[in-house]
Amino acid sequence: MGMDTLIWLVLTIAFVVAEAATTALISIWFAVGAGAAMIASLFTDSAIVQFAVFAVVSAVILAVMVPTLAKRRAASKPPVTNGSQLVVGKRGVVLKAIVPGGIGRVRVDGLDWQAQSAAALPEGTPCEVTAADGAVLTVASVQTAGV
């Protein structure tokens, strides 16, 4: 193994290690190019040819893979949630009285939710959603919301 082959091997390993450390798909393209240049170094001593192989292979892999990965990323759907975060800040009405430390029910945007509150809220009390933890909303009386 010649010195130039050893240099390309070290570069290939360095690019793979850098990619493993970042997992950002930044240096993997160069690792492939350096590997191709290492193989080319077995057939030629020309540093220009080896570097050309490195540059061309890296560029081609980059040009092919980045758009492919971008399409896959755009096609991925956001995770399905229960929508509870979407009602934070909205107003509703207490359907089943809420006592501190207990769970009651509220209607917000036409949907019924389990709810809790730091203060007692009797049935029919207007309320505002201050937080959501899974499918349980935290609400406050509209008069005391934001205090």
146: its two tokens:
């934001």
The whole-model pTM stands at 0.49
Q: How many residues does the chain have?
A: 147
At 81 the pLDDT is 58
pLDDT digits (tens, 9 = 90+) for 76-106: 666 555 667 888 999 999 999 999 999 999 9
Going 118 to 119 to 121 to 126, the CA torsion angle's sign is negative
Among residues 147, 90, 145, 142, the alpha carbon closest in space to that of 113 is found at 90
Q: Where are the domains of the chain?
A: 3-75, 84-141
At 84 the pLDDT is 75
pLDDT digits (tens, 9 = 90+) for 17-52: 988 888 777 888 899 999 999 999 999 999 999 999
Class of domain 84-141: mainly beta
At 72 the pLDDT is 79
